[in-house]
């Protein structure tokens, strides 16, 4: 009978947040790996924690999340690191260039969240167009019997929807909105030959030919503030912006200004530039729907994420192909 490995013999995994949460995954995880956890309540920085912890040189895998950047300084503290697993679909919080230089593999959440985020994007759009949240507040405030009928909303069917980033999320959004009778066009790094929708290489041209812009692309140096003042003005005073990507894809100051001055028609925002801080000017606007970065948050997606991370860990320590490897060109 094989003797179970002791905690000291198990591979060491550093987690930057409490993981795993799901009991059956937690039990399996604890049998295979030893966890080094930097508790959020620590008064010292992650770099200080790693510098002073004697286990840091033995860490083989880092499980990260977007609120804690994985910088070259952090990587310097982890000389045995071979893989970074992030719980997000995006990797803008990870120094991919330095990971490539050091031969460190990076895995994302892949397409785990795509359907949930697409559902949420469509939900935000319907809410903005039909004024669902605003009408709910109107009823709860007792204004219906006092002020009478609530203002008209706008139909979704027939709207021209421009999708910025036709990856796994954007494609799921397009699939859903086609069923509503929307007219889809898109902008991506490259034209997709297998896609029947009109392609615009310029985001301003996409905005000029859209009633709605749905932002679902990756955040990087090229896409930072890709939705700027010129794009918003091209979208027009009836246009709507839905952002389920990253907050910094949109120039937030210009967005607030355009909304307050009615230079665009409305917005549905799940992400912001300085989370959890949201511009207070947006709180008073009934043509804006706000959400606390929760498009990915479903019990189903979390269970699938846990299973994916465990499968990637098993693959890494078995020297097998990783399931959601980020192409680090």
C-beta of residue 106 within 8 angstroms of C-beta of residue 84? yes
Residue 114 phi, psi dihedral angles, 5° rounding: -55, -50
Give the CA-trace dihedral at 94, 95, 97, 102, to 10 degrees: -100
C-beta of residue 268 within 8 angstroms of C-beta of residue 240? yes
Please name which of 256, 252, 251 lies closest in space to residue 283, comparing C-alpha atoms: 256
Give the Cα separation of 227 and 264 in Å (integer): 13
Contacts of 144 (CB under 8 A, 6+ apart): 138, 150
Give the Cα separation of 167 and 218 in Å (integer): 9
Active-site annotation, residues: 246, 275, 293
Q: Tell me how far apart the 2 most distant CA atoms of the chain are, in Å.
A: 78
């Amino acid at each position: 009978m094989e003797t179970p490995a002791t905690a000291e013999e198990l591979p060491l995994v550093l987690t930057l947040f409490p993981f795993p949460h799901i009991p059956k995954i937690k039990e399996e995880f604890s049998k295979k790996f030893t966890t080094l956890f930097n508790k959020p309540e620590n008064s010292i920085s992650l770099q200080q924690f790693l510098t002073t912890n004697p286990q840091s040189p033995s860490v083989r895998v880092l499980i990260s999340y977007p609120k804690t950047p994985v910088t070259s300084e952090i990587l310097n503290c982890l000389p045995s690191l071979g893989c970074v697993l992030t719980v997000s679909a995006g990797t803008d919080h990870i120094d991919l260039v330095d990971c490539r230089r050091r031969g460190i593999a990076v895995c994302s959440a892949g397409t785990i969240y795509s359907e949930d985020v697409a559902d949420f994007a469509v939900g935000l759009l319907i809410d903005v167009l039909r004024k669902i949240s605003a009408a709910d507040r109107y009823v709860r405030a007792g204004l219906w019997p006092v002020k009478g009928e609530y203002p008209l909303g706008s139909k979704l069917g027939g709207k021209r929807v421009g999708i910025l980033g036709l990856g796994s999320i954007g494609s799921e959004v397009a699939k859903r909105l086609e069923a509503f009778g929307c007219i889809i066009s898109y902008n991506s790094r490259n034209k997709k030959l297998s896609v029947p929708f009109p392609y615009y290489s310029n985001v301003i041209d996409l905005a000029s030919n859209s009633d709605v812009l749905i932002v679902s692309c990756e955040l990087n140096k090229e896409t930072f503030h890709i939705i700027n003042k010129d794009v918003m003005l091209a979208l027009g005073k009836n246009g709507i912006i839905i952002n389920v990507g990253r907050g910094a894809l949109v120039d937030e100051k210009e967005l607030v200004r355009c909304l307050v001055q009615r230079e665009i028609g409305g917005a549905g925002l799940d992400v912001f530039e300085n989370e959890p801080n949201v511009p207070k000017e947006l709180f008073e606007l009934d043509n804006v729907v706000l959400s606390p970065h929760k498009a990915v948050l479903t019990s189903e997606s979390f269970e699938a994420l846990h299973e994916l991370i465990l499968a990637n860990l098993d693959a890494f320590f078995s020297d097998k192909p990783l399931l959601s490897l980020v192409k680090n060109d």
